[in-house]
């Protein structure tokens, strides 16, 4: 069966450090992979999309890598801030249906 796996344990880091979140998938052959941010009581918000032929994608302090051989994506937040504290979700399409991982909770402390 298809699976999207993200670290279930919360990630706690200090302000200014780089946060790295992992997304692993099985039984998908994605051409694209997406990352979303979700704050408590709100719906997910799209952050980045990376294509299979892109090894790396950057947007401001965010960087995403996509390794289709390892079936893994890494999501980095550099110079992290307390405002980055949220749950981050990895998402893949199966056909035309968008499926999500469980998400990883990130807490950035001052």
How far from 52 is each of 65, 66, 72, 73, 90, CA to CA, in Å?
A: 10, 7, 11, 10, 15
CB of 27 or CB of 81, closer to other proteins? 27
CB of 9 or CB of 110, closer to other proteins? 9
The CA distance from 52 to 19, in Å, is 23
CB of 50 or CB of 108, closer to other proteins? 50
CB of 5 or CB of 74, closer to other proteins? 5
**Within 64-103, which residues bind other proteins (CB under 8 A)?**
89, 91, 93, 95-103
> 36: burial class by Cβ within 10 Å (0-12, 13-18, 19+)?
buried
Residue 91 tokens, joined:
């998402």
Site string for other proteins, 7-46 (x = CB under 8 A): ------------------------xx-x------xxxxxx
Contact, 8 vs 103, CB < 8 A? Answer: no
Q: Please work out the total of residues on this chain that contact other proteins, with binding judged by CB under 8 A.
A: 24
* Binding positions for other proteins, rule: CB under 8 A: 4, 6, 31-32, 34, 41-46, 49, 89, 91, 93, 95-103
């Amino acid at each position: 069966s298809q699976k999207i796996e993200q670290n279930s344990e919360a990630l706690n880091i200090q302000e200014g450090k780089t946060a790295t979140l992992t997304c692993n998938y099985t039984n998908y052959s994605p051409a694209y992979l997406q990352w979303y941010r979700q704050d408590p009581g709100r719906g997910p918000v799209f952050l980045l999309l990376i294509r299979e032929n892109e090894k790396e994608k950057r947007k401001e302090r965010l960087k995403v890598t996509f390794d289709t051989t390892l079936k893994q994506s890494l999501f980095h937040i550099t110079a992290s801030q307390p405002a980055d504290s949220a749950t981050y979700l990895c998402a893949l399409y199966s056909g035309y249906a968008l499926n999500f991982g469980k998400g990883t909770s990130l807490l950035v402390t001052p």
